[in-house]
Amino acid sequence: MNNPTLKEIAAQLGISITTVSKSLKGYSDVSEKTKKAVIELAQKLHYTPNSFAVNLRTKESKTIGLIIPTLVHDFFSNVIRGILEEAEKRDYLVIILQSNEKLEFEKKQIDLLLNKRVDGILMSLSNETGDFEHLKSIIAHNTPLVLFDKIAKLVSCSKVTINDKKAAYDAVSYLIKRGYKKIAHFRGSYLPQNAIDRFLGYKKALEDNGIPYDSSLVFVCDNNTDFEDGYENAKKVIDEHPEIDAIFAVTDLVAIGIIKYFNETGISIPKQIAVLGFSNWFMSSVISPKLSTIDQPGFEIGRRSASILFDEINLKKKNLPVIFQSIELETSIIEREST
Amino acid sequence: MNNPTLKEIAAQLGISITTVSKSLKGYSDVSEKTKKAVIELAQKLHYTPNSFAVNLRTKESKTIGLIIPTLVHDFFSNVIRGILEEAEKRDYLVIILQSNEKLEFEKKQIDLLLNKRVDGILMSLSNETGDFEHLKSIIAHNTPLVLFDKIAKLVSCSKVTINDKKAAYDAVSYLIKRGYKKIAHFRGSYLPQNAIDRFLGYKKALEDNGIPYDSSLVFVCDNNTDFEDGYENAKKVIDEHPEIDAIFAVTDLVAIGIIKYFNETGISIPKQIAVLGFSNWFMSSVISPKLSTIDQPGFEIGRRSASILFDEINLKKKNLPVIFQSIELETSIIEREST
DNA sequence: TTGTAAGCGTTATCAT
DNA sequence: ATGATAACGCTTACAA
């Protein structure tokens, strides 16, 4: 089954390609009669426009690119769902690439998407990403870019995040209100903005509540294997600081690693030590004890990011100025059994 | 920053477009001198071929499409990882779409990909998919198609699966060997081949071991919310058949629903009732009790499916005949605490 | 109302 | 060794 072209339809009806094209696109300067004949034949032949030709002509691909650190991740899966939903509404397709938390890959993926001439790019940065030259090349190509979740404050483009600092501040304040006093923090790597902000929120909450900040209670989880990071550092914290009464983890997966270690060693949660996660993964509601955590609206982050990107694509098409937005979505504390 | 074209390079060097194109593609009938000049200028201008034009000319998109029922799923996430890895090796990009377990969406997604003229399509069918006309339209378009995981036996194309019947047979035989006698099965919906096969494997294992098959011990999980299905049916089975001593679940998520219900109601696993899952999700190793399950190699399924698809794309390009393959990957039993 | 023709940026054939 | 030219299939300004 060969794909029919405008040319073939035109030939069969004995009219010009132009008229066929106009008929199919609903132009008004075609007689009802010819229009009808064209549409009928087109349907009969299952005509669909050759997207390669359309792309070339219109310089649009009707495709956007998405680069995320990793796919196997509840949060990102939900982000993708949100993005796909928005894209579908607008008849856009989405090319998905993983950076595997590597800057080197991230650069490569950007080049791939730019060469493919996608109409826009959505990104969450890798943990390794400390400089942003490669992002500037996107902007230099005049390709709309929206960063979400793991963003770079210094890059000028729209951003969709939660207020990580505030969320962490509220989380730790909540722990303090519940009576916990010796609160450890299992933080993320040093580069990602959200890890930094969560750490700062933790610190500020302590200080504002008259609890001195103690850097020896902060443990870094930067092996990109959150779960094991949590497990190993739980071991360490018990060794070095058996007196703690709570842990605020940068991620549910880290928290689940902690829970596993505590369950294995008979440390009772939350009686001996409370555990508070971050993100509200599905898993956190089925583990025992059920994990208290911060709800981070992944689906909504995806939806908003995509929606903003499409707006920018449209503005650009109309040669209108784009005003970059920085959206911060609301989070909330989910109280379960671990705190 | 406008993207430079062959034309511009040619103009700057005062030579023809043809010569520029040849130089860049390493043809031998260009003098070393001009070739060098062209390559240098191209690099300086950051020339990259316009993929729209290349697509149009070569009739290739260097893109494949992937349709899966749902993204938020450990198994599919791993499949995607495998696919992306293979695609990357070959400089192919992947467009990902979800069917949301709906036949209607599945049809629409196929049309989108076909209109986009992807070079090949990878699919796992939705639970609703009972007839396969839409798949035939892919084949009619002469677009290579590989089905994986949830396949249609009747469609002529390559397929990558596990041997679901055997895996289930082995699983239930294992339970019987461990001394369990009254084994319930929480099966998947009626349409998907893998749910059918797992059920058949369950039934055959009972029969081969002299345990009469009892249809009242089979519960259907078809609300596409596996976890709640498991939870609700666990309630039901305890009501109707408190005498059972084991449950073989079609999916880890179903099994986790069961575990949750049993944990809440104080039913001890595996002492009172054993639970065996299927797929080996990450989650199953952190829940308590840790879930025994069947390891289903998602990453490998993705890799193989993609690899076969690319082979078929290449054969087609060379006008060579394609022989469809049906690959069955190995599974194994992961023994943990729940059996 | 219909059609002509140029152009998007490549690649490939055929001359020179 | 180099280049003119046609073609891929579509859109659109401009004529007729």
Among A24, A54, A73, A93, most B C-beta atoms within 10 A, so best to mutate, is: A93
Task: Give residue B1's pLDDT.
Answer: 57
User: Do you know the residue count of chain A?
Assistant: 339
Note whether B171 and B203 are within 8 A (CB): no
Nearest alpha-carbon partner for A124 in A63, A74, A79:
A79
Residue A161 DSSP SS3: strand
> B56-71: string of b/e by CB count within 10 Å (b at 16+)?
beeebbbbbbbbbbbb
Shared domain check, A267 and A254: yes
Asked if the model's pLDDT at residue A119 lies above 90, the reply is yes
Note whether B246 and B180 are within 8 A (CB): yes
Shared domain check, A130 and A22: no
The fraction of chain A above a pLDDT of 70, given in percent, is 100
Mean per-residue pLDDT, A251-257: 96
Asked if the model's pLDDT at residue B293 lies above 90, the reply is yes
Shared domain check, A275 and A171: yes
Spatial distance from the CA of B135 to the C1' of D16 (Å): 48
Task: Give residue A40's pLDDT.
Answer: 95
Mean per-residue pLDDT, A263-283: 96
Shared domain check, B68 and B23: no
Span between the terminal Cα atoms of chain B, in Å: 63
Question: Is A17 a domain residue?
Answer: yes
Alpha carbon of B110: minimum distance to chain A alpha carbons (Å): 12
CA distances from B1 to A134, A137, A138, B39, B74 (A): 15, 10, 10, 19, 41
Question: Is B222 a domain residue?
Answer: yes
Query: What confidence tier does B213 reach under pLDDT thresholds 50, 70, 90?
Result: very high
Q: For A208-252, how does the pLDDT look when each residue is reduced to its tens digit (9 = 90+)?
A: 999 999 999 999 999 877 899 999 999 999 999 999 999 999 999
Nearest alpha-carbon partner for B290 in B251, B334, B230, B254:
B334
Shared domain check, A96 and A28: no
Query: What confidence tier does B29 reach under pLDDT thresholds 50, 70, 90?
Result: confident
Q: In terms of pTM, does the model score above 0.85?
A: yes
Q: Which tokens sit at B89? A: 């090796």
Asked if the model's pLDDT at residue B313 lies above 80, the reply is yes
Question: Is B208 a domain residue?
Answer: yes
CB proximity under 8 Å: A 280-309 to B: 282-283, 286-288
Higher pLDDT, B304 or A226: B304
Q: Which of B50, B71, B287 sits opposite A81 (nearest CB)?
A: B71
Is the minimum distance from the CB of B29 to strand D below 7 Å?
yes
Q: Where are the beta strands (DSSP E) in chain A?
A: 63-68, 93-98, 120-123, 145-148, 158-162, 183-187, 218-220, 246-249, 274-276, 293-295, 326-329, 332-334
Nearest alpha-carbon partner for B245 in B311, B154, B183, B189:
B183
Is the minimum distance from the CB of A315 to strand D below 7 Å?
no
Mean per-residue pLDDT, B198-212: 98
Residue A46 DSSP SS3: coil
Domain count, chain B: 3
Is the minimum distance from the CB of B320 to strand D below 7 Å?
no
Shared domain check, B206 and B154: no
Note whether A39 and A23 are within 8 A (CB): yes
Q: Which of A51, A94, A140 sits opposite B117 (nearest CB)?
A: A51
Name the closest residue (CA) to the C1' of nucleotide C2: A19
Question: Is A253 a domain residue?
Answer: yes
Q: For B259-280, how does the pLDDT look when each residue is reduced to its tens digit (9 = 90+)?
A: 999 999 999 999 999 999 999 9
Mean per-residue pLDDT, B37-41: 94
Q: For A47-100, how does the pLDDT look when each residue is reduced to its tens digit (9 = 90+)?
A: 999 999 999 999 999 999 999 999 988 999 999 999 999 999 999 999 999 999
Give the whole-angstrom CA distance, residue A14 versus residue A23: 14
Residue of B nearest to A82 (CA): B71
Q: Beta A120-123 vs A145-148: how paired, if at all?
A: parallel
Give me Rg for the CA atoms of chain A: 26
Give the whole-angstrom CA distance, residue B237 versus residue B267: 13
Q: Which of A72, A84, A114 sits opposite B78 (nearest CB)?
A: A72
Asked if the model's pLDDT at residue A103 lies above 90, the reply is yes
Secondary structure in 3-state letters for chain B? CCCCCHHHHHHHHCCCHHHHHHHHCCCCCCCHHHHHHHHHHHHHCCCCCCHHHHHHHHCCCCEEEEEECCCCCHHHHHHHHHHHHHHHHCCCEEEEEECCCCHHHHHHHHHHHHHCCCCEEEECCCCCCCCCHHHHHHHHCCCCEEEECCCCCCCCCEEEEECHHHHHHHHHHHHHHCCCCCEEEEECCCCCHHHHHHHHHHHHHHHHCCCCCCHHHEEECCCCCHHHHHHHHHHHHHHHCCCCCEEEECCHHHHHHHHHHHHHHCCCCCCCCEEECCECCHHHHCCCCCCEEEECCHHHHHHHHHHHHHHHHHHHHCCCCCCCCEEEECCEEECCCCC
CB proximity under 8 Å: A 84-143 to B: 84, 91, 93-98, 112, 114-117, 140-142
Instruction: Report the mean per-residue pLDDT for chain B.
Output: 95
Task: Give residue B116's pLDDT.
Answer: 96
Cα A13 to its chain centre, rounded Å, is 50
Q: For A30-51, how does the pLDDT look when each residue is reduced to its tens digit (9 = 90+)?
A: 899 999 999 999 999 999 999 9
**Phi-psi region for residue B199, left (φ > 0), alpha (ψ -120 to 50) or beta?**
alpha
Note whether A142 and A316 are within 8 A (CB): yes
> Domain with B30 in it: what CATH number?
1.10.260.40
Shared domain check, B168 and B157: no
Q: CA dihedral in degrees (B244, B245, B250, B252; nearest 10)?
A: 130
Give the whole-angstrom CA distance, residue A36 versus residue B219: 54
Question: Is A175 a domain residue?
Answer: yes
Asked if the model's pLDDT at residue B333 lies above 90, the reply is yes
Contact A116 B74 (CB under 8 A): no
Give me Rg for the CA atoms of chain B: 26
Contact B1 A288 (CB under 8 A): no
Shared domain check, A79 and A170: no
Task: Give residue A1's pLDDT.
Answer: 57
Q: Which of B78, B116, B287 sits opposite A287 (nearest CB)?
A: B287
Q: Which tokens sit at A202? A: 């933790």
Chain A contact set for B337 (CB, 8 A): none
Instruction: Report the mean per-residue pLDDT for chain A.
Output: 95
CB proximity under 8 Å: A 59-78 to B: 59, 61, 63, 71-74, 77-78
Alpha carbon of B241: minimum distance to chain A alpha carbons (Å): 25
Task: Give residue A135's pLDDT.
Answer: 97
Residue of A nearest to B76 (CA): A72
Among B1, B6, B24, B51, most A C-beta atoms within 10 A, so best to mutate, is: B51
Q: Which of B55, B63, B71 sits opposite A77 (nearest CB)?
A: B71
Shared domain check, B290 and B194: yes
Q: For A136-151, how does the pLDDT look when each residue is reduced to its tens digit (9 = 90+)?
A: 999 999 999 999 999 9
Mean per-residue pLDDT, B106-126: 97
Question: Is A339 a domain residue?
Answer: no
Among A1, A43, A51, most B C-beta atoms within 10 A, so best to mutate, is: A51
Contact A81 B73 (CB under 8 A): no
Residue of A nearest to B82 (CA): A71
| Subset of residues 130-169 in chain A with CB less than 7 angstroms from any atom in strand D | none
Question: Is B338 a domain residue?
Answer: no
* Half-sphere exposure at residue B294, Cβ-oriented, CA atoms within 13 angstroms: 27
Q: For B65-92, how does the pLDDT look when each residue is reduced to its tens digit (9 = 90+)?
A: 999 999 988 999 999 999 999 999 999 9
**Phi-psi region for residue A117, left (φ > 0), alpha (ψ -120 to 50) or beta?**
left
Give the whole-angstrom CA distance, residue A330 versus residue B9: 51
Q: At A333, which amino acid appears? A: I
Shared domain check, B227 and B126: no
Residue of B nearest to A136 (CA): B1
Shared domain check, B130 and B18: no
Higher pLDDT, B226 or A234: A234
> Domain with B136 in it: what CATH number?
3.40.50.2300
CA distances from B137 to A241, B29, B316 (A): 64, 43, 17
Alpha carbon of A285: minimum distance to chain B alpha carbons (Å): 10
Note whether A218 and A199 are within 8 A (CB): yes
Nucleotide nearest to B56 (CA to C1'): D8
Q: Which domain holds residue B320?
A: 60-162+298-330
Question: Is B339 a domain residue?
Answer: no
Contact B93 A112 (CB under 8 A): yes
Q: At A296, which amino acid appears? A: Q
Shared domain check, A102 and A23: no
Residue A49 DSSP SS3: coil
